[in-house]
Amino acid sequence: MTDQSLNDPAALLRWYVDAGADECIGEVAVDRLKPVPPPAPAMALAPAPPISTQPAAVPAVSYGAHPADAATSVAELRAMVESFDGCGLKQFASKTVFADGNPSARVMFVGEAPGADEDRQGLPFVGVSGKLLDRMIESIGLTRAESAYITNVVFWRPPGNRAPTDEEIAICMPFVRRHIELVNPAVLVLVGGLSAKTLLSTPVGITRLRGRWHEFQSPGLAAPVPALPLFHPAYLLRSPQQKRLAWRDLLSIRERLDQSKA
């Protein structure tokens, strides 16, 4: 570099670029020749407590206790769920979808998760698959309003209708379990694979679970509730050839209800 180019800013810049300094990363030039300040004095540490020779106290952990267990009515449980902020799904949902139908009904349907229509109305199974579920319920002489009770394993719509995660299901489960205990139906219908797997605590898929009666047990129930997995109506809309099997399951529900009335 010549003395002349030092007075020519464009020539100076070209010289920098040629030397590899092609990027400006700060407003102020770094003075690398400045003396380094002495290191700060070390922080004074509090003296460590003496190591005890006594065994450490183990905090009491209460397994299974959950605020939902304190609900003594479906209305109380609904209020609890509506004011619960512990499930991340709630922040994306517009409404809590708790249940629909008659909580004194002898048959309780538990589906998977609310979709867009359910999220808008705050009611389970009101969209296209809900319309089919209504017809399935009516086909065995029941009605949604009087003789059926409907809920889901999660109370808020997962964004974009994705499946709820294991964690989201686990967070809702104590409420769902208490819900079933409080309704104590004669028959529990597990609508779809997710509901069946969750409430029967099994990894087995719906195709193998359906067609057989299982038992749902929970500490607040005097006796296990007979539970029948049923193909989800959304699946039946995609695979209408499976309606034949669903019809068999519906007849089995009717039969069980008739027997338990006697």
Which token pair is 1?
A: 């570099």
Contacting range for ligand URA; rule: CB under 6 A; set: 4-12, 109-117, 182-190, 202-210: 109-117
Binding of ligand URA by 134 (CB under 6 A): no
Interatomic CA distance for residues 249 and 59, integer angstroms: 48
Binding of ligand URA by 229 (CB under 6 A): no
- 8 A C-beta contact, residue 201 and residue 229: no
Binding of ligand URA by 231 (CB under 6 A): no
Q: In the complex, which residue's CB is closest to ligand URA?
A: 111
Candidates 103, 114, 164, 229: give the one binding ligand URA (CB under 6 A).
Answer: 114
- Site map for ligand URA, 35-54, x if CB under 6 A? --------------------
Interface with ligand URA in residues 192-211 (CB under 6 A):
192
Contacting range for ligand URA; rule: CB under 6 A; set: 12-20, 106-114, 135-143, 213-221: 106-114
Binding of ligand URA by 185 (CB under 6 A): no
Interface with ligand URA in residues 141-160 (CB under 6 A):
152
- 8 A C-beta contact, residue 185 and residue 199: no
Binding of ligand URA by 164 (CB under 6 A): no
Interatomic CA distance for residues 108 and 123, integer angstroms: 15
The structure tokens 């509090």 sit at: 46
Candidates 101, 103, 115, 229: give the one binding ligand URA (CB under 6 A).
Answer: 115
Can you name the residues that pair with 229 across neighbouring β-strands?
Answer: 190
Report the largest interatomic distance among the alpha carbons of the chain, rounded to a whole angstrom: 110
Which token pair is 124?
A: 């389970």
User: Over the range 231-241, which residues count as b (16 or more CB within 10 Å of their CB) and which as e?
Assistant: bbbbbbeeeee
Candidates 98, 125, 149, 155: give the one binding ligand URA (CB under 6 A).
Answer: 125
Interatomic CA distance for residues 155 and 93, integer angstroms: 9
- 8 A C-beta contact, residue 235 and residue 192: yes
Residue 223 C-beta: closest distance to ligand URA, Å: 27
Candidates 87, 105, 107, 113: give the one binding ligand URA (CB under 6 A).
Answer: 113
21 by Cβ neighbours in 10 Å (0-12 / 13-18 / 19+) ranks as exposed
Residue 262 C-beta: closest distance to ligand URA, Å: 32
Binding of ligand URA by 168 (CB under 6 A): no
Q: Which value, in Å, is the radius of gyration of the alpha carbons in the chain?
A: 32
Interatomic CA distance for residues 108 and 148, integer angstroms: 6
Binding of ligand URA by 112 (CB under 6 A): yes
Q: How many residues bind ligand URA (CB under 6 A)?
A: 13
Binding site for ligand URA (CB under 6 A): 111-115, 118, 124-125, 127, 129-130, 152, 192
